[in-house]
Amino acid sequence: MKKSIVRILIATLLLAAICFAKPAQAQASDCHSSQFKDKASIDLFIRKNPKSPKLPQAIFCLGEVSRKQFAKSKDKTTLKTALTAYEKVARKYSSSGLAAEALLLLGDLRRNGLHDEIAARAAYFEVIDRYPKSAAQAKKRLSPGKSESAKPELVISTPVAELPKKESSISAPAKNILIETPKAKVVPTLFSLKPEVQKPVISSEVINLKNPELSDAPPPGSGKELVLDETSPPKRPLIVIDPGHGGEDHGAKGIDGLLEKNVVLDISKELEQLLKDRLRAKTFLTRSTDIFIPLAERTKLANDRNADLFVSIHANASEYKTAQGIETYYLDNTNEKSSLKLADRENASLNFGPKQNSDLGFIFSDLIQNVKLDDSISLAHQLQNSLTQTLSRYYQGVNNLGVKKAPFHVLVGAHMPCVLAEISFIDHPLEGRRLGEERYQKLIAQSIYEGIRKFFIKREVK
């Protein structure tokens, strides 16, 4: 009798496991049902059942149908439909069993359809952050060798930001030589990224890296040998992030009372986490709370720590309330009226805290920054390109106002490449509301992170 009861219990548990395991996959298989078999039937269901519990499933299936059609036709309208459907499931129905799968497929389409590696990686990292059960699938996609279209993290002897073509030229003398067995392709990762997220990979040729500290050693038993003639310990880059204003200095005031000092602090904290987690960099925030730090003190904090980069983050404003767009600045004198007017507004922070001898500072800063000017300009272009390209993928009307120069006091005296990013206009009716959205802030942080990453890549391959 007892054995019979045990058998019944085991059979019940097995049946429950079959019924309830992998609900997202079970839901996804419903896309083959007659109700969701094609775009017309799905559109009809969505129109007639706007409050149905099956609505997330219907939208997901719309993405599936459109994705398969795009694979055959390469039609951009079909691609856009698929992207929109997957993103709607991921954003509006984030608690559904299909959200993680929708994000993964969204990343795949961004990579293989839009050829936008930055946006694809953002989707995969979001899966890792929000859906631990699907993290393994996202990590596989983040590994450069797993996807045909995955772009390498480092291009040898190619001094361009866009990482276009593979070059076979090898500079000498070699400091870091990787001897590769004939099979696998490998691309060295930057700053020893976590192996479970990205594995080191390089081309089948002998590789020369000017700085061996910026690549991972191949895993033991991989058939590759790493030969170093330098024994110095790995050095992580130190990046100082400067959230503008703070404390009694509110900065610009935007839509619905939004304050620049609060927005840029939130973005800076998000950026700091990205740099730590993905670039394995050391970071320092000039302020991590709502306090005022004098302008001269901000660059001093960076100099005292021998920082490698200084990035000051601000939100723009205009007296006409109609200006919009993104612009990035490096330190230099200019006669352009709009740049001078913006510098005057940002330099108004000099009115808070102790008085500074700004003229003397500019004289000495000019001597220092002449050495770092090229790097500052390069960093500004990387940030500007990344910000405008990424945000344009998700929002309309993102104006690229370009890279400019201006006499910002917060950049005076910096001993390292330094830039100031004006991320959007906080007082613009549209951009101001976007700046209050968590999603927009995270996209800005991801864009700045990607710009910094590309800056280091470009500098290493020169």
Domain span at residue 35 reads: 22-146
Return the percentage of the chain with pLDDT > 70, whole number. Answer: 64
Q: What is the tens place of the pLDDT at every residue in 62-84?
A: 999 999 999 999 988 889 889 88
The reply to whether 87 and 195 lie within a common domain is no
The reply to whether 222 and 367 lie within a common domain is no
Structure tokens at 264: 């840029």
- Mean pLDDT of all residues belonging to the chain: 74
CATH code where residue 73 lies: 1.25.40.10
**What length does the chain have?**
462
- DSSP state letter for 172: S
Backbone angles phi, psi at 282, to 5 degrees: -90, 145
Among candidate residues 95, 117, 146, the one where a domain is terminated: 146
Whether 164 has a pLDDT exceeding 50, the answer reads no
The reply to whether 226 and 242 lie within a common domain is no
CATH code where residue 443 lies: 3.40.630.40
**How far apart (Å, rounded) are the C-alpha atoms in residues 267 and 396?**
21
Per-residue pLDDT, 258:
95
The reply to whether 409 and 299 lie within a common domain is yes
Among candidate residues 146, 177, 193, the one where a domain is terminated: 146
Per-residue pLDDT, 423:
96
Cα angle, residue 54 at apex, residues 48 and 57 outer, rounded to 5°: 110
17 located within any domain: no
The reply to whether 219 and 134 lie within a common domain is no
Give the count of beta carbons closer than 10 Å to the beta carbon of residue 209.
Answer: 21
**How far apart (Å, rounded) are the C-alpha atoms in residues 307 and 309?**
6
Average pLDDT over residues 92-115: 89
Residue type, 116: D
387 located within any domain: yes
439 located within any domain: yes
456 located within any domain: yes
How many domains is the chain partitioned into structurally? 3
4 located within any domain: no
> Has this prediction a pTM greater than 0.85?
no
- Give 283's contacts (C-beta < 8 A, 6+ positions apart): 238, 239, 240, 241, 272, 275, 276
Q: Would you say 51 and 78 are in contact if contact means Cβ atoms under 8 Å apart? A: no
The reply to whether 178 and 263 lie within a common domain is no
- Give 259's contacts (C-beta < 8 A, 6+ positions apart): 250, 251, 252, 253
The reply to whether 444 and 373 lie within a common domain is yes
Least confident of 17-26, 109-118, 302-311: 17-26
Q: What confidence category does residue 178 fall into, taking pLDDT thresholds of 50, 70 and 90? A: very low
8 located within any domain: no
**How far apart (Å, rounded) are the C-alpha atoms in residues 121 and 309?**
24
Whether 338 has a pLDDT exceeding 70, the answer reads no
The reply to whether 201 and 261 lie within a common domain is no
2 located within any domain: no
Q: Would you say 24 and 133 are in contact if contact means Cβ atoms under 8 Å apart? A: no
Q: Would you say 265 and 301 are in contact if contact means Cβ atoms under 8 Å apart? A: no
Among candidate residues 128, 146, 164, the one where a domain is terminated: 146
The reply to whether 222 and 302 lie within a common domain is no
Q: What is the tens place of the pLDDT at every residue in 186-205?
A: 333 444 333 333 333 333 22
Whether 33 has a pLDDT exceeding 70, the answer reads no
Q: What is the tens place of the pLDDT at every residue in 246-280?
A: 999 999 999 889 999 999 999 999 999 999 988 88
Regarding beta strands 176-179 and 225-228, do their DSSP bridges make them parallel or antiparallel, or are they unpaired? Answer: antiparallel
Per-residue pLDDT, 444:
97
The reply to whether 199 and 310 lie within a common domain is no
- Give 133's contacts (C-beta < 8 A, 6+ positions apart): 100
The reply to whether 374 and 246 lie within a common domain is yes
5 located within any domain: no
The reply to whether 434 and 288 lie within a common domain is yes
